[in-house]
Amino acid sequence: MNRFDTLIIGGGLSGFLHARSILKHEDPNLKLALVDPDPESLGKKTFSSWRRKDLHGNPFSHLVTDHWEHFRIVGPKGELLHRRFDAYVYERIPGDRILSFLGQDTLLDPRLARFSASVERITSEIEESLAGRPLQVELDSGQKVLSDTILTSVAQYPRDSMIQYFLGLEIETDFDVFDPTSVVLMDFRVPQEGAVRFVYILPFGTRTALAEFTVFSRNRIPDSECEELLRSYLSSKLGLETFRVIRKESGDIPMSLEVEPRFAPAFLDSRVRTIGGAAGRVKPSTGYSFQRNCRALNSQKHPLFSFRFQVYDKILLGVLGQNGNLGAEIFYRLFSRNPENRVFAFLDEDSSLLDEIRIFMTLPLRPFLQQLFLQYPFVFATGATCLLHLLPGTGTIAVWLLPLAGLMTIGIGHGSIDHWMAPKTVRGVAFFLPYLGRIFLFLLFCILAPLLVLLVFILQSADHFGEAQWHRAIRYSKNHLAVRFFSWLWGLFASLFGVLFHWNESTPILNTLLRKTGFAEVLSTADACLASLMLLVLAVFAAHTLDRYVTRSSGYRHAGVLSTLVLAASFAALPLLPGFLCFFVFWHSWDSVMFQRSRLGWSSTQYFRRAFPFTALSILGSFALMVTLQRWEVFFFLIGALTAAHAPVMSRFFRES
């Protein structure tokens, strides 16, 4: 069986860049493998992007065939913006030139072996590491190879991800049409139809150019329709009734921050490392990846707070996904109301916070603020609740307004579609019998052994909250014990920090629930506060560790440490129950609803219609029991019972989605 020092999965640009870098080492015994089902795929692509003139690091700069110093953007009504790139230049490199150049050294190096195949699976990294053995890679050709280290660029994305897809025609005309000094980045004079649609033109001369019809959308239209729309544009906008097609190209680029490496590292000490698309080298909001892949070889460091650019991408994709017709206005404003250097630095994630604020002020604020609220409702809800709590004259009831309203809608509602999330084979009676059984057993043990139930509830809540917050990391690691433990530790913080920090408020509630007066007084207020701070330190450590793992796996920064500190501050600033309900409703439940909708492909209206009957039933049933028994603590028991039934269903949904 062949054994290699390093095996690279994926023969695209990133795979070849890393292969070339590894082969620079002069060790004659080095053995490298490159696995790709289409060995010539790199040669079929074309790489075009802007680059700062004073920055180097592109190993293929001498292969540039075309470059442009000017760019144009045309608005939907024909508004023309014609600018210089100034500190930047736009360049084009055909993939076949890169492949040919690599053939002169990398591909001819005897230390490199190439496999025209796909990887089926990699043996358990944990088992092999413990045994000190290399990883075994199984190919679809039936071959098995061994490698000490694996680099993989193979990625997959959620089914509902937005896609940038395009169809291009390289054409030649009989008369002068194009300006060879200026690239048309976006011409929006095409029907938008609820998506972002534009034509992109690279002129190679006055009579030859590559014209591409490009769409940002979740729903792809056939290439034939794209070509028809492109030909209509060429005819109506450029006056080209006849032309010769030299070649045709098409493709698609996922526009999502939820990249799923097919072969993710098991944990921080993993011998598997992601590169290229699997490492987040494709910028979600633009689809550009060439410069990001080239820079990745020079530095793996992420500047402090660089995750803010992911927030910007997430919000923009949310705006465009909700109303693609806004795309033309957004992009035209972005370029027309800002200096070009500021815009390209921003798109390269190399801008200052001040310049970013200046950019935001030139964009239509309302849709971005709406999307900001939809993506991060916890910040707004908690801020409003804190304000109501601190303002004089608002009364104690005011602090309960948002938390209770959220609990009765989102909080209870996020568990009201559990039967829809179950596999089709266990729906109906097969689902409801065990589901209702868990609720009944929880309530029964609340009577028989309340302390045991409380401990089980805390442990289960910690696991549920931690899994919901870190489900991507858990999925990447295939349920790695360390990842699972750190996520549970974070969930324990979310479950208990507020209880311990507000111990004076917690003790009467615990005494009532446990039916043992004075039981909760085993801890002094000072000891409980110290315990809460220790729990916060552990949670920050867990979040930092998981942040590093998520970045190592997907390339994207996860702001887990910052989120943990913000959550702790909100717990500390608000009274016990309103503070916890803000987290439960506007963080945990809201994120669950967004995940459920995404994976089930439902609109907000569809979700509401399906969740409302069971939400109403849960609320009415709870109040009926409270009124009948005349005991307010019944509501706590019912929430616990619903959680006991809901958590296993959601856990399975996270694993299988």
User: Residue 386 above 60 pLDDT?
Assistant: yes
Residue 297 confidence (pLDDT): 64
Mean pLDDT of the chain, nearest integer: 87
Q: Considering only CA atoms, which of 411, 424, 475, 415 is closest in space to residue 657?
A: 475
| Average pLDDT rounded to a whole number, residues 415-442 | 86
Query: Given pLDDT bands bounded at 50, 70 and 90, which one contains residue 484?
Result: very high
Residue 642 confidence (pLDDT): 87
- For tokens 């795309």, the residue is 327
Dist CA 232 CA 237 (whole Å): 8
Dist CA 180 CA 514 (whole Å): 79
Residue 209 confidence (pLDDT): 93
Partners of 184 in beta bridges:
72, 201
Residue 58 confidence (pLDDT): 67
The 10s digit of each residue's pLDDT in 603-612 is 889 999 999 9
Residue 82 confidence (pLDDT): 94
User: Residue 57 above 60 pLDDT?
Assistant: no
Residue 601 confidence (pLDDT): 83
User: Residue 1 above 70 pLDDT?
Assistant: no
Please indicate whether residue 242 or residue 1 has the higher confidence score (pLDDT). Answer: 242
Residue 349 confidence (pLDDT): 86
| Average pLDDT rounded to a whole number, residues 118-147 | 77
The 10s digit of each residue's pLDDT in 25-35 is 878 888 998 98
Beta strands in 321-479 (DSSP E): none
| Average pLDDT rounded to a whole number, residues 357-367 | 93
Report yes or no: 419 and 431 within 8 Å, Cβ to Cβ.
yes
The 10s digit of each residue's pLDDT in 500-541 is 999 999 888 888 888 776 666 778 889 999 999 999 999 999
| Average pLDDT rounded to a whole number, residues 411-440 | 87
Beta carbons within 10 angstroms of residue 488's beta carbon: 19
For 91, the token pair is 């360049």
User: Residue 334 above 70 pLDDT?
Assistant: yes
Report yes or no: 650 and 589 within 8 Å, Cβ to Cβ.
no
653 backbone φψ class: left, alpha, beta (φ>0; ψ -120 to 50): alpha
| Average pLDDT rounded to a whole number, residues 408-437 | 87
DSSP-derived secondary structure letter, 68: E
Q: Considering only CA atoms, which of 500, 507, 505 is closest in space to residue 535?
A: 500
Dist CA 621 CA 642 (whole Å): 12
Dist CA 597 CA 74 (whole Å): 36
**Residues composing the chain:** 657
Query: Given pLDDT bands bounded at 50, 70 and 90, which one contains residue 127?
Result: low
The 10s digit of each residue's pLDDT in 615-655 is 988 888 888 877 777 777 777 888 888 888 999 999 989 88
Beta-carbon contacts of 84 under 8 Å, excluding residues fewer than 6 positions away, are 69, 70, 340
Cα distances (Å, whole numbers) of residue 619 to 66, 448, 614, 648: 66, 25, 9, 21
User: Residue 598 above 60 pLDDT?
Assistant: yes
Residue 83 confidence (pLDDT): 92
Identity of the residue numbered 174: D
| Average pLDDT rounded to a whole number, residues 535-549 | 96
User: Residue 184 above 70 pLDDT?
Assistant: yes
Residue 574 confidence (pLDDT): 93
> Per-residue DSSP letters for 573-636?
HS-HHHHHHHHIIIIIIHHHHHHHHHHHT--HHHHHHHHHHHHHHHHHHHHHHHHHHT-TTHHH
| Average pLDDT rounded to a whole number, residues 562-568 | 95
* CA geometry: angle 248, 278, 296, nearest 5 deg: 90
Residue 126 confidence (pLDDT): 54
> Per-residue DSSP letters for 520-588?
GGGS-HHHHHHHHHHHHHHHHHHHHHHHHHHHHHHS----HHHHHHHHHHHHHHS-HHHHHHHHIIIII
Beta-carbon contacts of 533 under 8 Å, excluding residues fewer than 6 positions away, are none
| Average pLDDT rounded to a whole number, residues 190-196 | 89
Residue 197 confidence (pLDDT): 93
Share of the chain above pLDDT 90, in %: 39
Which of 98-112, 346-360, 598-612 comes out lowest in average pLDDT?
98-112
Cα distances (Å, whole numbers) of residue 606 to 138, 367, 416, 428, 596: 43, 22, 13, 20, 12
Helices within 104-190 (DSSP H only) = 125-131
Which of 1-15, 90-104, 283-297, 322-336 comes out lowest in average pLDDT?
283-297
Which of 127-131, 341-345, 498-502 comes out lowest in average pLDDT?
127-131
